[in-house]
Structure 1
Amino acid sequence: MFWILFAVFLAACFAAGSTGGLFPPGQWYRDLTKPRWTPPNWVFPVTWTTLYLCMATAGARVALAEGNSLAMALWSLQIALNGLWTPVFFGLRKIRLGLIVLSALWLSVAATMIALWSVDWIAGLLFVPYLVWVSIAGALNASVLRLNPGKVA
């Protein structure tokens, strides 16, 4: 049963991640001023693939556990917000709104991590790298906002 649940959670992750293909960064993003510490482009797909594997594993572990209602509801919220950021930032080119979405994502990931941890500490631990990455993404989004005041929609 674990592997079926893992496949479902992984499909949800990759569905959210598929917005990257629907709304690629493109020339608009390449032309933005970015901070020196911006990760190279190859880091993003490697990181997200790793995070999605961790997120799916955490979701599948907790889906099998008693008392998982809040954790599963929060898992659903965070993956919805995860899928929303790319269309907002790259599709609509709304840098400030992207930061708002990322802030909500950060809060939902933190809450999910805590809820998962209360059911299965390993599942909670699997969300720690995700929270770190969303923190980096938030700092990057905020820096892009600050460095490109004339391009804020």
Structure 2
Amino acid sequence: MDWPLFIIFLAACGAAATTGAVFQPGDWYKRLDKPVWTPPDWLFPVAWTFLYLALAFAAARVATIPGAHYALAFWAMQIAFNTLWTPIFFGLRRLGPALVVLGGLWVAVVGLLWALWPLDALAFWITVPYLVWVSYAGALNASIWLRNRHAVPA
């Protein structure tokens, strides 16, 4: 693996992660009606740390492989949608549009996995938990939106 490439991809993940520090959940989020299967707040940074490391690792493993152009394009697409979600959900408090962004993220992650499979099995398998997490996040976002769609963001 090319370690400088890993650092570059990790920096992109760090930029996306910064939105979580800038747009924190706060009291508004705590007051929302959420399903009982909402994870505790401490789990989010733990999960995202693992996922961002895995994403950077997977991208660095395949970046120099001939034919990796679709994998890298889907990687760029997913990190863009990933970066957009937090400011829309927590910053603008727009639960419906955030769900649309999450749908785009889900499609990008599926595309990334599709492109990784023929290139590198380890990169593929280390990225699978990301699809699981994004699917779970989509269900959670949808549930919160449905439970609170008539509430005025405060």
| TM-score strictly above 0.5 | yes
Residue 79, structure 1, aligned to residue 73, structure 2: no
1:79-131 deviation line (CA, Å, top 9, x unaligned): 01000000000011000000000011001001111101121121111110000
Q: Provide the residue aligned with 2:144 in structure 1.
A: 144
CA 1:152–1:2 in 2, change beyond 3 Å: closer, same or farther? Answer: farther
What is the alpha-carbon distance in structure 2 between the residues aligned to residue 2 and residue 151 of structure 1? 49
What is the alpha-carbon distance in structure 1 between the residues aligned to residue 119 and residue 149 of structure 2? 44
Contact 1:13 1:79 in 2 (8 A): yes
Alignment of 1:10-89 (within 5 A): 10-89=10-89
Normalising by the residue count of structure 1, what TM-score does the alignment of the two structures yield? 0.96
What is the alpha-carbon distance in structure 1 between the residues aligned to residue 2 and residue 71 of structure 2? 17
What is the alpha-carbon distance in structure 2 between the residues aligned to residue 152 and residue 108 of structure 1? 31
Amino acid at match of 1:133: W
Alignment of 1:90-109 (within 5 A): 90-109=90-109
1:111-152 deviation line (CA, Å, top 9, x unaligned): 111101121121111110000000010000000011112226
Q: Provide the residue aligned with 2:111 in structure 1.
A: 111
CA 1:152–1:137 in 2, change beyond 3 Å: closer, same or farther? Answer: farther
Count matched residues. 153
What is the alpha-carbon distance in structure 2 between the residues aligned to residue 110 and residue 86 of structure 1? 20
Amino acid at match of 1:10: L
Amino acid at match of 1:68: A
Amino acid at match of 2:27: Q
CA 1:25–1:119 in 2, change beyond 3 Å: closer, same or farther? Answer: same
What is the alpha-carbon distance in structure 2 between the residues aligned to residue 129 and residue 98 of structure 1? 21
Structure 1 vs Structure 2 CA RMSD: 1.1
Amino acid at match of 1:137: A
| Aligned structure 1 segments of 4 or more residues deviating by more than 2 angstroms | none
Structure 1: gaps (5+ residues) = none
Q: Provide the residue aligned with 2:132 in structure 1.
A: 132
Contact 1:145 1:152 in 2 (8 A): no
Q: Provide the residue aligned with 2:2 in structure 1.
A: 2
